A = this chain, B = another copy of it.
Amino acid sequence: MNVSVVGATGYTGYELVKILANHPEFEIKCLVSETYEGQLFSDVYPKLRNICNIKIIGRDYEAVAKESDAVFLCLPHAAAQDATAFFYNKGLKVVDFSADFRLKDKELYEATYNVDHNYPDLLANAAYGLPEIFADQIQNAQLVANPGCYPTSVITPLYPLLKEGLISPEGIIADSKSGVSGAGRKASLAFSFCECNEGFKAYSIFNHRHNPEINHILKDTGNKTDVLFTPHLIPASKGIESTIYAKTNCDLKTIATCLKEFYSNGRFVRIYDNGHLPSTADVTDTNFIDISLFVKDDRLIILSCIDNLIKGSSGMAVQNMNLMCGFDDTLGIL
């Protein structure tokens, strides 16, 4: 399979290229970036010198479509709409990293992102790319909307429990924390070293765009949730930890069994019910999600850790593309 990456020079692009460069079935054809056109990818990321020395091209989507069977789009929301439609209509398989095709509800999308959605038909055809939950839809999709990083850490443990009715859909709180790379690769005072180092803070109180995404996807369990999601910034490059509070009538064993069974085929989901305290350090640079469960009286605490750029983005994107191409979802992902 010939694959290309549009928006290749951000942090998700970097992680994606690193995985693709060692993938047994995908061959990288085009890396697209307007900013770095004409440079080698390894000039932008010297870490990959001798691993990916491909020359970056500018925004020539016709050329990309001609050379590629599939494309990964690492573009900002809104900007991704047209590109997605373009490649989709050319017959390419598309994994879109943006939020543009995650919310099936056009009105919700437009209210959340404050832009029009110009491709409602495509919305209807897009699968939401949590491969351990929606493998069936993903396998048959030509377009997959790659989930947000925070929602991945929150939805993965909650989905089976809500579906099986083991927790209350009401009053769930997800107190989440992310490393700085979640803000992307850019010149910004707020994310400069001295402003982030030795600091910890909450942000986007009551209004982060991943909050509607979480509740929207969880509706699929047959419940109406009002998960309250609060993101924080960790003084670290990578990693997301979500501490999730829910009400339950079940004991720890029932909760744990439900998750273990639901994810029995998910090699990347590691579930703990033995008091293990997962750290973001245990999942960074991997595609694992570590989930640890604690119950006391009627309260359930879930600790959930991922690498925001891999399981929360590029690793999952490759899982999705693997499924779309008929491969095992774990192929090429260490």
Please give the residue numbers on chain A whose beta carbons come within 8 Å of chain B beta carbons, in ascending order.
11, 22, 46-47, 49-51, 171, 173, 175, 177, 179-181, 185-189, 191-203, 205-206, 228, 230, 232, 234-239, 241, 243, 245, 267, 270, 275-286, 288, 290, 294, 296, 299, 301, 303, 305, 334
Contact = CB atoms under 8 A, between A and B. Distances in A.
Contacts of A186: 189, 192
Contacts of A245: 173, 228
- Sorted from nearest, which 5 A-B pairs have the closest CB atoms? A199-B281, A201-B279, A175-B175, A193-B196, A180-B193
What is the count of identical protomers in the complex? 4
A7 to B, nearest CB: 16
A243 B232 contact: yes
A40 B65 CA distance: 48
B177 A187 contact: no
Contact of A192 (B46, B193, B199, B299): B193
Contacts of A305: 201
A257 to B, nearest CB: 19
Contact of A50 (B177, B201, B238, B288): B288
A238 to B, nearest CB: 7
Given A187-B192, A200-B241, A200-B279, 11 more contacts: A22-B334, A180-B193, A186-B189, A193-B195, A193-B237, A198-B237, A200-B239, A205-B275, A206-B301, A230-B301, A285-B285
A46 B197 CA distance: 16
A191 B193 contact: yes
A202 B47 contact: no
A60 to B, nearest CB: 25
A259 B195 CA distance: 29
Nearest to A177: B200
A203 to B, nearest CB: 5
